[in-house]
């Protein structure tokens, strides 16, 4: 007879499944077969595909189970109401695991969380209260590296979140070691990110008809304006990367190589359609709510192409022309300058900057001299 425990407060469904496996002496694959009579092994710790079976064995309403013990409310927190409703119906109507996993639905969480995290104070409290520790869902959200309850840094373990079906771990938090990752961010910033993420997790965020308008207004109030009707999106993206740091943004899968079309710039454009991942909304709101007011110096980011390094270009082209003089020496007198420079793969670059390429120009004169000598003969 399968004995299935009930979930603890803020316990992730994946943690509940781990406890059930331990208490029944079953592997994850065997437990899934007992629940759904299907030999499937893939499952997300954030939202298992066999959630209806879990609701049955725990005697908890499936909607309550999804909203209180999965990452689903966080995933849809910034989505339009109609889209969130369609995804909710999809999750609640799933029977068994034959329809596949919720992998694509949980990507906004798993892409920003590589390993499981824990709070040592929560571990001790859980052991005292329940006799065991468990994995808290509020600790395993993108960009959350701070426990909002105990106001301390979370520890990151080496238990991977991705490919969880193949790398299933039966360890509980009190049985593993972790390390605190220092991104150099102030504790109050990490605390605010954790609190905002907790709000998104506990309930569906009050959806606004157009997030872009809200962010544009806030960015304008903070001084991200240009002489025209546009928001200084590039400057905003530049400042956000400077505030959080490239390492932190890369860790939460929010990095961007250039500011022009970076997600902060896109999120303040009027015609951009989402949805953006919840962590991007949270990071943008946290920054805009706390950055200083006043006109930002948008001139520090130069628009357009970078100025050409003529010295470097001259070195490159002169080497090509020199090689061409040796390679084509037997038929140089048969070529025009355009043909010769095209053979050297230099013509288009040389013709627009010939007055700024002295070394290359001297070699071109050598080519012309060879041509004149041959004609004189």
Closest CA relative to residue 116, chosen from 169, 54, 41: 169
Q: Around Cβ 71, how many Cβ atoms within 10 Å?
A: 31
The two three-digit tokens of residue 142, written as one number = 């993108």
pTM: 0.75
DSSP state string for 3-64: --PPPPTTB-HHHHHHHHHHHHT--HHHHHHHHHSS------SSS-TTHHHHHHHHT--HHH
DSSP, res 261:
T
Domain boundaries, the chain: 13-175, 208-300, 310-376
Beta bridge partners of 118: 155
Helix residue ranges, H only, the chain:
13-24, 28-36, 51-58, 62-69, 72-75, 81-93, 107-110, 120-130, 187-202, 211-221, 233-244, 246-251, 263-267, 278-290, 310-327, 337-343, 347-353, 358-376
pLDDT tens-digit profile, the chain (377 residues): 678 899 999 999 999 999 999 999 988 888 888 887 766 656 788 988 888 889 999 999 999 999 999 999 999 888 888 888 888 888 888 765 544 567 778 888 888 898 999 999 999 999 999 999 999 999 999 999 999 999 999 999 999 887 554 567 889 999 999 999 889 999 999 999 999 999 998 865 555 556 788 888 999 999 998 877 788 889 999 999 999 999 999 999 999 887 878 999 999 888 777 678 999 999 999 999 998 887 776 644 455 556 667 888 888 888 988 888 888 888 888 888 888 888 888 888 888 888 888 888 898 888 888 887 776 65
Contact 321, 364 (CB under 8 A): yes
What's the residue count for the chain? 377
């Amino acid at each position: 007879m399968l004995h299935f425990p009930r979930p603890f407060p803020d316990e992730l469904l994946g943690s509940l499944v781990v406890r059930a496996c331990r208490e029944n002496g079953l592997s994850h694959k065997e437990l899934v077969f007992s629940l759904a009579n299907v030999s499937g092994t893939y499952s997300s710790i954030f939202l298992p595909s066999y959630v209806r079976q879990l609701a049955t064995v725990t005697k908890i309403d499936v909607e309550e189970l999804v909203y209180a013990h999965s990452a689903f409310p966080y995933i849809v927190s910034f989505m339009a109401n109609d889209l969130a409703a369609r995804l909710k119906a999809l999750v609640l109507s799933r029977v068994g695991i034959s329809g596949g996993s919720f992998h694509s639905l949980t990507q906004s969480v798993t892409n920003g969380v590589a390993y499981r995290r824990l709070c040592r104070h929560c571990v001790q409290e859980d052991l005292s209260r329940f006799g065991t520790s468990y994995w808290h869902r509020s600790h395993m959200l993108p960009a959350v590296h701070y426990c909002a309850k105990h106001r301390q840094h979370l520890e990151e373990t080496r238990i991977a979140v991705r490919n969880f079906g193949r790398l299933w771990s039966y360890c509980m938090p009190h049985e593993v070691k972790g390390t605190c990752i220092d991104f150099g961010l102030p504790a109050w910033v990490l605390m605010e990110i954790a609190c905002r993420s907790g709000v998104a997790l506990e309930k569906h965020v009050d959806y606004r008809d157009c997030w872009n308008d809200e962010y544009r207004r806030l960015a304008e109030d903070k001084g991200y304006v240009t002489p025209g009707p546009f928001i200084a999106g590039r400057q905003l993206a530049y400042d956000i990367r400077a505030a959080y740091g490239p390492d932190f943004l890369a860790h939460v899968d929010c990095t961007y190589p250039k500011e022009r079309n970076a997600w902060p710039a896109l999120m303040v454009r009027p015609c951009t359609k989402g949805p953006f991942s919840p962590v991007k909304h949270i990071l943008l709101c946290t920054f805009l709510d706390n950055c200083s007011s006043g006109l930002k110096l948008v001139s520090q980011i130069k628009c357009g192409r970078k100025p050409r390094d003529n010295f470097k270009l001259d070195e490159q082209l002169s080497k090509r022309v020199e090689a061409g003089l040796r390679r084509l020496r037997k038929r140089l007198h048969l070529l025009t300058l355009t043909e010769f420079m095209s053979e050297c793969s230099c013509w288009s670059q040389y013709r627009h900057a010939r007055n700024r390429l002295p070394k290359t120009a001297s070699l071109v004169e050598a080519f012309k001299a060879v041509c004149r000598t041959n004609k004189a003969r």
